[in-house]
């Protein structure tokens, strides 16, 4: 809740880890923040957007992560305190600007947050961005709890200004999306206006001779940071057991609870700065134990480095972790995995017989039919998928990153590929030139602005032939409805010029452009058929607001959502509705199909799907054109 | 009472869109207002689009990890019956289960022609796990009685409150619901909460 975020200093309020990061930055005197939404980082921006309205600092949703990073860098080079944040794969997009940034450094405090997603809860991969800190040359702080997330974010601004170097903060899903009581601090005054003035004339010019000089300076800085900050970000818990545990991030919390359940008093070294690693502290720890268990999520990042440190510090220490398969590299950790690992290494019995629990749970788990995410009731993407399936038929379908990625599922099966932001159009370039197959690319409005435009320009310029469907639901929906350049308002709700998709696409040189309401099946299908006849790149903009926005607006206006129903006299139980439209509101009773009134949003888009006209509105329901109709 | 609570673990389960996140926010607000430590984890983004969704709410002075260990669950609050089954491995004799009996079948299961369990089968499977309490109630019906089915989660909160297993003093959870509800839903949610409470108390 925004009110909690801006509570007075000293109060203890429930905040998500992401909100805590936002609060830490605000307390540090944040002037400018920029980002592109991406789970699990988005709520940092939602919190900042709310706070910016009240406190007056700048927050923007930028076109993509690289632009967001450059916005923050530009502000920090002008002496302001700035932050950008992104999901783990967002760092890939921003990386071109970030790699060279380590050479350039900063003047104003500059903090970059990477929110990694072990388990790929809401992501296309499980990349471990600690590697980036090493490769780019940034110091990286890794909080273990939401409170630490706030404290580290706050501290990172001052450290950035002290060492004239941007600081990375690495969060993971279980920090970002964990709510805990957070103790708030004072909010420092902002600087408000900056002045761009390079500290030395060559500071921001990275060409050969300067780049090499700056590279050498960076390496020196990192040595100093290792010595000076190592102790501050390290927590050492003493213990009597002969096994020691080295850990970082949220894994630390699993370690503490596993030790509690096992009643084992083992020494634990928690590293809050994973780059540069405090090698002396680690070496000291290694000399006190004969075995070390490394507990970390994703890659054996610490484990490999510990082995290298052990060569000099204590070659006889046994280092155990992921290399031997004791802990998994895939997915996220939890208390049980850590407890089992510690129990195995120390020869103790777990306090709970997990295999017995598992055995007993089997019959219940067998009944639990899977429920993967699906498109919401009334989702315009379902309608687009329905029309495409009917009109385009067999083709190579290149999907992209957004809710519409779910169209890969039955019954639509419109997704041979889901890869990276904007890749659908890029791949369509390659596949259409390599084959004679009909090629259809799907992309959302926000994703198109993010990374689709260069690939479309490429296609037009190089004379490719494929159909691009831009699923324009007027918002960045999957991450929770953030504005993008195509809508007429900003992150903080101010009016803004909207970039018109149709004009943009035409300006790029696309000759065949259709704008259609996806609920209008007939119009959609004829647009698809026409576009496929076109010799060149065709674009269909399937435009209808995200259904969740529509529903929220109706509720805000005090209107009741009136569901549709199936007339049992007319339903022949042909199941065409389920088999071709698959709205989650459909209920298969085994005799007829019904509509679950607790799920139906009353959009009426399914009416035309039924060959027998069995789907009808109830009194007061709206049809898809928003006209009031009754039975 | 507050300082005595060492560890109380809750899973809130349901289908994306049913208000699982809101329900857990009310629970953490009640914990905070009781002076209790808590950690609560959730998942956002694609993971919550009408798929299975759960949050874990941990209350007490011993908790620091955002995730609950199997075998240590105290309360399973489920907005949908099938969703209770997924956490069978967490359930022991210390677990109370409060569930809404309105079953929402996953549409994907129809397409794959998977067998969807009947409510009785779900309840039977849960009973066999030997929980402390198993409390099924038609929360949708009670919410409709309160004025709108969007308040289904408030009914369940009221029912859980009336069971007396939560580590909160009388009235704390209701006040937390009032604080966390958007203004236009306060009255509806409180009415639904009270109906959930009454339903348990009059049994």
Predicted pLDDT at A161: 98
Of A121, A358, A582, the CB nearest to B111: A582
Q: Name the residue in chain A with its Cα closest to that of B144.
A: A598
Q: Which of B39, B60, B67 should be substituted to probe chain A, the one whose Cβ sees the most A Cβ atoms within 10 Å?
A: B67
Provide the token pair at B191: 């009415």
A33, A69 in Cβ contact below 8 A? no
In the block, tokens 């859980």 appear at B160
pLDDT score of A132: 98
pLDDT for the residue A621: 79
Q: How confident is the model at residue A560 (pLDDT cuts 50, 70, 90)?
A: confident
Which pLDDT does position B1 carry in this prediction? 47
| Closest chain A C-alpha to B162 CA, distance in angstroms | 25
CB contacts, 8 Å: B99 with chain A: none
Of B38, B64, B180, the CB nearest to A256: B64
A381 contacts chain B (CB < 8 A): no
**pLDDT higher than threshold 80 for residue A394:** yes
Residue whose C-alpha is closest to residue A126's, from A376, A321, A312, A299: A299
Asked if CATH classification 3.40.50.970 holds for the domain at A380-551, the reply, yes or no, is yes
Identify whether the C-beta of residue A230 lies closer than 8 Å to the C-beta of residue A309: no
Interface test with A, best of B12, B110, B184 (most A CBs within 10 A): B110
Beta pairing class for A564-566 and A615-617: antiparallel
Q: Under an 8 A CB cutoff, do A352 and B48 touch?
A: no
> Which residues from chain B sit within 8 angstroms of residue A588, using beta carbons?
105, 110
Which band of pLDDT confidence, cut at 50, 70 and 90, is reported for residue A628?
Answer: low
CATH number of A234-351: 3.40.50.920
In this structure, what are the phi and psi dihedrals at residue A9, rounded to the nearest 5 degrees?
-55, 145
Q: What is the pLDDT, as a whole number, of residue A2?
A: 46
- Binning pLDDT at 50, 70 and 90, where does residue A631 land? very low
Q: From the candidates A352, A371, A602, which should be mutated to test the interface with B, based on the most B CB atoms within 10 A?
A: A371
Task: Give whole-number Cα distances, A566 to A28, A570, A571, B50, in Å.
Answer: 58, 8, 7, 22
Contacts of A83 (CB under 8 A, 6+ apart): A25, A30, A32, A33, A72, A110, A111, A112, A113, A153
pTM check: above 0.90? yes
Both structure tokens of B162? 């009336």
Q: How many Å apart are CA A438 and CA A417, to the nearest integer?
A: 15
At the topology level, CATH places domain B2-201 in Pyruvate-ferredoxin Oxidoreductase; domain 3 (3.40.920)
- Backbone phi, then psi, for A401, in 5-degree steps? -95, 115
The nearest CA of chain A is from the CA of B151 a distance in Å of 11
Task: List pLDDT tens digits, range A141-163.
Answer: 999 999 999 999 999 999 999 99
**Chain A residues inside the 8 Å CB shell of B88:** 360-361, 364-365, 368
Tell me how close the Cα of A118 comes to any Cα of chain B, in angstroms.
12
User: A560-617: which CATH architecture?
Assistant: 2-Layer Sandwich (3.30)
Give chain A's mean pLDDT: 96
Q: Which residues of chain A form CATH 3.40.50.970?
A: 2-229, 380-551
**CA dist., res. A81 & res. A76, Å (int):** 6
Helix axes A251-262, A335-346, angle to 10 degrees: 50
Q: What is the largest CA-CA distance in chain A?
A: 82
| Torsion over CA: A37, A39, A41, A44 (sign) | positive
CA-closest candidate to residue A285, choices A246, A229, A240: A246
Chain A residues 417-446 within an 8 A CB cutoff of chain B: none
Scanning A12-51 for CB atoms below 8 A from B yields 12-14, 39-40, 42-43
Instruction: Report the percent of chain A where pLDDT is more than 70.
Output: 98
Beta-carbon separation of B46 and A122 below 8 A:
yes
**CB neighbour class for B186 (10 Å; exposed up to 12, middle 13-18, buried from 19):** middle
pLDDT tens digits in sequence order for chain B, 203 residues long: 455 899 999 999 999 889 999 999 999 999 999 999 999 999 876 656 789 999 999 999 999 999 999 999 999 999 999 999 999 999 999 999 999 999 999 999 999 999 999 999 999 999 999 999 999 999 999 999 999 999 999 999 999 999 999 999 999 999 999 999 999 999 999 999 999 999 999 98
The shortest C-alpha distance from B190 to chain A (Å) reads: 18
Report the distance separating Cα A463 and Cα A429, nearest Å: 9
Q: Do A584 and B107 touch (CB under 8 A)?
A: yes
More confident residue, A267 or A557: A267
CA distance B89 to B70: 6
Query: Is A586 within 8 Å of B39 when comparing Cβ atoms?
Result: no
Report CA torsion sign: A157, A187, A232, B62.
negative
Cα(A515)–Cα(A524) distance, rounded to whole angstroms?
Answer: 9
Contacts of A371 in chain B (CB under 8 A): 15, 51-52, 82-83, 106, 108-109
Q: What is the pLDDT of residue B44?
A: 76
A chain contacts of residue B70, beta-carbon cutoff 8 Å: 336, 352, 354, 357
How high is the pLDDT of residue A241?
86
CB contact under 8 A, A584 and B62: no
Which residue in chain B is spatially nearest to A601 when comparing CA positions? B17
Q: Which residues of A touch B126 (CB under 8 A)?
A: 364
| Nearest CA among B47, B99, B178 for reference residue A371 | B47
Asked if residues A41 and A35 have their Cβ atoms less than 8 Å apart, the reply is yes
A2-229 — its CATH code?
3.40.50.970
Q: Which of A334, A336, A582 has its CB closest to that of B107?
A: A582
Q: Is B91 in contact with A361 (Cβ distance < 8 A)?
A: yes
Nearest to B69 among A335, A403, A588 (CB): A335
Residue A422 φ/ψ, nearest 5 degrees: 85, -5
Cβ atoms < 10 Å from Cβ of A534: 16
pLDDT at A83: 98
Residues B188, B151: contact at Cβ < 8 Å? yes
Q: Which residue does chain A place closest to B139, by CA atoms?
A: A598
Query: What's residue A458's pLDDT?
Result: 98
Q: Which chain B residue's Cα is nearest to A561?
A: B148
CB pairs under 8 A between A and B: 215
DSSP A487-545: SSB-TTS-B-PPPPHHHHHHHHT-SEEEEE-TT-HHHHHHHHHHHHHSSSEEEEEEE--
A88-107 mean pLDDT: 97
Answer whether B49 sits within 8 Å of A376, measured CB to CB.
yes
Q: Which residues of A touch B65 (CB under 8 A)?
A: 250, 253-254, 256-257, 334-335
Non-local (6+) Cβ contacts of A141 within 8 A are: A152, A155, A156, A167, A168, A169, A170, A233, A272, A273, A274
Q: Say if CB A197 and CB A111 are below 8 A apart.
A: no
Residues 6+ apart with CB under 8 A from A60: A33, A34, A68, A71, A490, A491
Pick the closest to residue A378 from A622, A613, A587 (CA basis).
Answer: A622
Classify residue A234 by its DSSP letter.
E
Q: Which residue has the tokens 């805000």?
A: A556
Q: Give me A283's structure tokens.
A: 């070496």
Q: How far is B201 from chain A (nearest CA, A)?
A: 26
Do B69 and A334 count as a contact with CB atoms less than 8 A apart?
yes
Which residue matches tokens 């198993």?
B134
∠ CA B36-B42-B47, rounded to 5°: 170
> Would you say A631 and A547 are in contact if contact means Cβ atoms under 8 Å apart?
no
Residue of A174, A180, A334 with shortest CB distance to B38: A180
What do you get for the CA distance between the two ends of chain B, in Å?
Answer: 27
Model confidence at A627, in pLDDT bands (50, 70, 90)? Answer: low
Mean pLDDT of A37-42: 96
Taking CB atoms and an 8 Å limit, are B110 and A578 in contact across chains?
yes
User: How close A51 gets to chain B, by Cα (Å)?
Assistant: 19
Nearest-by-CA chain A residue for B56: A178
Domain ranges of chain B: 2-201
Q: How many whole angstroms separate alpha carbon B62 and alpha carbon A260? A: 9
Rounded to whole angstroms, the Cα distance separating B180 from B184 reads 11
* Entry field: residues in chain B: 203
B170 contact partners, CB below 8 Å, separation of at least 6:
none
Q: Model confidence over B34-44: pLDDT tens digits? A: 999 999 999 87
Instruction: Please compute the mean of the pLDDT values over residues A271-283 and round it to a whole number.
Output: 98
Mutate to test the interface with B, among A90, A180, A593 (most CBs of B within 10 A): A180
Q: Which two tokens stand for residue A5?
A: 């975020």
Query: Nearest Cβ partner of A336 from B47, B70, B83?
Result: B70
How confident is the model over A604-618, as a mean pLDDT?
A: 94
> Smallest Cβ distance to A371: which of B15, B32, B128?
B15
Residue B98 CA, chain-centre distance (Å), reads 7
* Contact between B41 and A367 using a beta-carbon 8 Å cutoff: no
The predicted model gives A3-28 an average pLDDT of 96
- Rounded Cα distance between A246 and A305, Å, is 12
For residue A69, pLDDT beyond 60? yes
Is A598 near chain B, with CB under 8 Å? yes
């Amino acid at each position: 809740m925004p009110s909690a975020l801006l509570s007075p200093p000293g109060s203890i309020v429930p905040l998500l880890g992401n909100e805590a990061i936002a609060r830490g930055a605000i307390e540090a005197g944040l002037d400018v923040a920029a980002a592109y939404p991406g789970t699990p980082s988005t709520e940092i921006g939602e919190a900042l957007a709310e706070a910016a309205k009240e406190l007056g600092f700048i927050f923007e949703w930028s076109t993509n992560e690289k632009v967001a990073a450059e916005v923050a860098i530009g502000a920090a080079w002008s002496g302001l305190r700035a932050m950008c944040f992104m999901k783990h794969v967002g760092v890939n997009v921003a990386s071109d600007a970030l790699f060279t940034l380590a050479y350039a450094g900063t003047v104003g405090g500059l903090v970059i947050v990477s929110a990694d997603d072990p388990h790929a809860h809401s992501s296309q991969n499980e990349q471990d961005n600690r590697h980036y800190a090493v490769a780019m040359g940034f110091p990286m702080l890794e909080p273990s709890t939401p409170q630490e997330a706030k404290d580290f974010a706050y501290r990172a601004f001052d450290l950035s200004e002290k060492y004239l170097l941007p600081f990375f903060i690495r969060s993971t899903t279980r920090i970002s999306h964990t709510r805990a009581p957070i103790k708030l601090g004072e909010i420092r005054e902002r600087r408000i206006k900056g002045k761009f003035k390079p500290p030395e004339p060559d500071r921001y010019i990275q060409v050969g001779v300067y780049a090499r000089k700056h590279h050498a300076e960076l390496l020196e800085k990192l040595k100093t940071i290792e010595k000076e900050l190592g102790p501050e970000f390290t927590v050492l818990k003493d213990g009597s057991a002969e096994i020691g545990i080295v850990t970082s991030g949220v894994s630390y919390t699993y370690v503490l609870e596993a030790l509690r359940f096992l009643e084992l008093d083992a020494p634990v070294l928690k590293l809050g700065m994973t780059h540069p690693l405090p090698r002396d502290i680690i070496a000291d720890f290694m000399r006190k134990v004969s075995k070390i268990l490394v507990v970390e999520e994703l890659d054996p990042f610490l484990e490999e480095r510990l082995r290298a440190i052990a060569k000099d510090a204590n070659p006889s220490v046994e280092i155990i972790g992921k290399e031997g398969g004791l802990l998994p590299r895939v997915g996220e950790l939890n208390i049980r995995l850590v407890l089992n690992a510690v129990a195995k290494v120390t020869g103790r019995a777990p306090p709970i017989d997990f295999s017995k629990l598992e055995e007993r749970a089997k019959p219940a788990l067998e009944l639990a039919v899977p429920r993967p995410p699906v498109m919401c009731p009334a989702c315009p993407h379902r309608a687009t998928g329905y029309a495409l399936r009917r009109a385009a038929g067999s083709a190579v379908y290149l999907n992209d990153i957004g809710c519409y990625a779910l169209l890969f599922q039955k019954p639509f099966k419109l997704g041979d590929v889901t890869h990276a932001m904007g890749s659908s159009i890029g791949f369509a370039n390659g596949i259409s030139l390599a084959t004679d197959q009909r090629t259809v690319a799907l992309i959302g409005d926000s994703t198109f602005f993010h990374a689709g435009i260069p690939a479309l320009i490429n296609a037009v310029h190089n004379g490719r032939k494929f159909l691009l469907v831009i699923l324009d639901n007027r918002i960045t929906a999957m991450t929770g409805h953030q504005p993008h350049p195509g809508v007429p308002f900003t992150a903080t709700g101010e009016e803004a010029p909207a970039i018109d998709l149709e004009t943009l696409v035409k300006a790029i040189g696309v000759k065949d452009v259709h704008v259609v309401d996806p609920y209008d099946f007939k119009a959609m299908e004829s647009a698809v058929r026409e576009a496929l006849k076109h010799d060149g790149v065709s674009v269909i903009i399937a435009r209808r607001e995200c259904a969740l926005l529509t529903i929220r607006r109706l509720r805000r206006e005090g209107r009741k959502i009136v569901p549709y129903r199936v007339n049992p006299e007319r339903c022949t139980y042909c199941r065409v509705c389920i088999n071709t439209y698959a709205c989650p509101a459909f209920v298969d009773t085994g005799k007829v199909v019904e509509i679950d009134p607790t799920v139906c949003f009353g959009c009426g888009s399914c009416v035309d799907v039924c060959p027998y006209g069995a789907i009808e509105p109830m009194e007061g329901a709206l049809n898809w054109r928003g006209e009031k109709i009754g039975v | 009472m507050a300082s005595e609570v060492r560890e109380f673990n809750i899973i809130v389960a349901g289908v994306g869109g049913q208000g699982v996140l809101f329900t857990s926010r009310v629970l953490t607000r009640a914990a905070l207002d009781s002076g209790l430590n808590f950690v609560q984890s959730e998942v956002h983004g694609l993971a919550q689009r009408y798929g299975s969704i759960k949050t874990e709410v941990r209350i007490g002075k011993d908790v620091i990890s955002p995730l609950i260990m199997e075998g240590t669950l105290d309360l399973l609050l489920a907005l949908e019956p099938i969703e209770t089954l997924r956490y069978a491995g967490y359930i022991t004799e210390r677990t109370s289960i409060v569930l809404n009996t309105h079953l929402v079948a996953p549409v994907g299961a129809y397409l794959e022609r998977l067998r969807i369990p009947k409510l009785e089968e779900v309840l039977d499977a849960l009973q066999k796990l030997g929980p402390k309490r198993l409390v099924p109630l038609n929360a949708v019906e009670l919410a409709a009685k309160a004025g709108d089915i969007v308040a289904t989660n408030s009914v369940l909160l009221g029912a859980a409150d009336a069971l007396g297993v939560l580590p909160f003093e009388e009235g704390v959870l209701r006040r937390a619901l009032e604080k966390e509800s958007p203004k236009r839903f306060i009255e509806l949610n409180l009415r639904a909460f009270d109906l959930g409470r009454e339903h348990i108390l009059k049994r």
